[in-house]
Amino acid sequence: MRPGQRDLVENLLPKLEVDPVSTDIFDPMTGFGPDLDDVWLEIGFGGGEHLAWQAAANPGTGIIGCEPFINGVAKLLTRVRDDDLSNVRFYRDDARLLVERLPENSLGRAFILFPDPWPKTRHHKRRIISDEVLGHLARALSDDAELRIATDDAGYLEWILWHLRRHPAFRWQASSPADWRNRPHDWPATRYQEKAVAAGRNCAFLTYVRQPREQIRDR
């Protein structure tokens, strides 16, 4: 970590961190100003390129980023300072601790981009895409809110599709292969994605919509 980044971690980060574990129910609006219209969540933001782009493009939306690795946090803090992104907050622990405390209808969008695939079978229980996490996100996401997921791991892609297909709250938006092979215009590339493409790995970009609650109850 560079000296300037260390200063940001020591002095700016404490002002922007959220603390969901201090309460049983965590309102994600906590810590943001009153002028914001919505709150989004990114789980595992890596170097922060995607989150910073979304924050700049959506100044009326607060974005909470979950990332345990300090180097990625430091990189995003640099973008927050340089681009004056006042609508970004950080959580540096296991994202599960946050999502399990989110109340009903508290998120307008969620991103899980290139999560660790944990390829060994004995480690699959560590994967962030699970019935438990999807249940929490289904509760927290508002009706018609988007859940965006990306992966460059073929085995994890099968896992993601299988878990989301089983969950009644989410509907995949793809109608053709192009819908998941290409990023939407408001889904910027990240350094990780660029490295994956350079290495010859195919990336999948999945968009799911949280089904209206009344529609699910009427089935």
- Give the catalytic positions in this structure: 116
User: Which residue's entry shows tokens 């994600």?
Assistant: 28
Q: How far is CA 22 from the centre of its chain?
A: 21
What span, in angstroms and rounded, lies between the C-alpha atoms of 79 and 47? Answer: 10
Q: Which residue has the tokens 């790995």?
A: 201
Residue type, 70: I
Alpha helices (H) in 108-190, listed in sequence order: 131-140, 154-166, 178-181
Structure tokens at 169: 């709250």
User: What are the backbone angles phi and psi of residue 55, rounded to the nearest 5°?
Assistant: -65, -40
Alpha carbon 38 to chain centroid distance? 15
Q: Residues 143, 178: contact at Cβ < 8 Å?
A: no
Q: Could you tell me which of 47, 80, 78, 75 has the C-alpha nearest to residue 63?
A: 80
- Residues 157, 97, 38, 34: what is their CA dihedral angle, to the nearest 10 degrees? -160
